[in-house]
Structure 1
Amino acid sequence: MRLALHSLCLIFLLSSCKTPEARRPISSKSGSFINESIHRNKELAAKEESRILKIINSDTTNSYITSETGFWYFYTKKDTLSTSITPRFGDVVTFTYNVKDLSGNIIYTKQELNTVTYRIDKQELFLGLREGLKLMKQGEMITFLFPSYQAYGYYGDDHKIGTNIPLIAEVTLNTITKESTTEN
């Protein structure tokens, strides 16, 4: 009996010392959702770009410039004489602006938005406007045309700007205060 008990324990120990095996997923994802999302976003960007280019091509009054980051703009008032510089990381700027849809309907007026004080790249501001301010000199006025991915994108602003809305922003840069280079 003792031999049978020892044999049974030995068999039990040997069978329980098996190395663990990796569990396989019940279902595998092919990444098709991500691929479909990428395809939808590319189509949306192309459609918005087409609308913006139609506006640009029909505007014979202004000379548009394409930014390196994917939006278009023209100067309403350009500083061609001054050697003043554009704002950089950490500089404080004050500006006023309004926001329109691509049809020219005002979404936010300058009065609603008031004068904004913004520290370059250290505070929240939608991507296109953040990059656009870096192109401006003090006193300049620029009209920007932003595709939705440069504006409020998929989420909108939770108030007046909905999902995937390209925008026009007319911006006046009032002041630039350079960030102090000395440490306190």
Structure 2
Amino acid sequence: MSLNYWVNIENLQQNRRKPDGEIISYEYDIYDFDWVKLYAKPKKNVNVQFGRFEELKAVEDVLRYMDKNQEAIILVPSVLAFGTYGDNDKIPNDMPLIVKIKVL
């Protein structure tokens, strides 16, 4: 994808891109590169607006092209994830992530 992350859906960017202001609901789990789930519960957001996300940029970008009930796996390099500082919880500094996401 254009932001230098990988997604398992071929030609995803050929789908319609959702504009700022459009509403979406989704959930995702975060894994390390050994497929160890980092948080027990998925992160879930209901009825959020594009353009007002407080998410990883790669997550927002992929969601803009996904359809309802569609699932994707994203490989996110650390610089696009939590970078040099991690998330001060389960994700250490400079850790690339696997994100498994679903549009609700």
For the superposition of Structure 1 and Structure 2, which TM-score range results when normalised by the shorter chain?
A: 0.7 to 0.9
Partners in 1 of 2:57 and 2:42 — Cα distance? 20
Residues 65-123 of structure 1, C-alpha deviations (whole Å, 9 max, x = no match): xx011000114xxxxxxxx94422121211011000111111124x342x213321213
Kindly indicate whether the alpha-carbon contact (under 8 Å) linking 1:100 and 1:168 is maintained by their aligned counterparts in 2: yes
Q: Report SS of the residue matched to 2:53.
A: coil
Structure of greater Rg: 1
Q: Secondary structure at the match of 2:7?
A: strand
Cα-Cα RMSD = 1.7
Deviation at 1:163?
A: 0.6
Q: Which residue of 2 aligns with 1:143?
A: 73
In the other structure, the counterpart of 1:160 is 90
**Segments of 4+ in structure 1 off by > 4 A?**
none
| Residue matched to 1:71 | 5
Q: Which of structures 1 and 2 has the larger relative contact order (alpha carbons within 8 angstroms, sep 6+)?
A: 2
Separation in structure 2 between the aligned mates of residue 107 and residue 156 of structure 1, nearest angstrom = 12
Distance 1:85 1:139, change over 3 A: farther
DSSP-derived class of the 1:132 partner: helix
TM-score computed with the length of structure 1 as normaliser: 0.49
Q: Distance in 2 between matches of 1:112 and 1:134?
A: 19
More strand by share: 2
- Report the residue type matching 1:145 in the other structure: L
SS in 1 for 2:59: helix
**Distance (whole Å) between structure 2 residues aligned to residue 106 and residue 131 of structure 1:** 22
Distance across 1 between alignment mates of 2:39 and 2:18: 25
Residues 45-84 of structure 1 mapped to structure 2, 5 A cutoff: 67-75=1-9
CA distance in structure 2 between the aligned counterparts of 1:149 and 1:89, rounded to whole angstroms: 24
1:133 aligns with 2:63: yes
Counterpart mapping for 1:17-28 below 5 A: none
Aligned amino acid, residue 103 of structure 1: D
Structure 1: stretches of 5+ with no match in the other structure: 1-66, 76-83, 175-184
Kindly tell me: are residues 137 and 86 of structure 1, through their superposed partners in 2, closer, same or farther at Cα, counting changes over 3 Å? farther
The answer to whether the 8 Å contact 1:87/1:93 transfers is: no
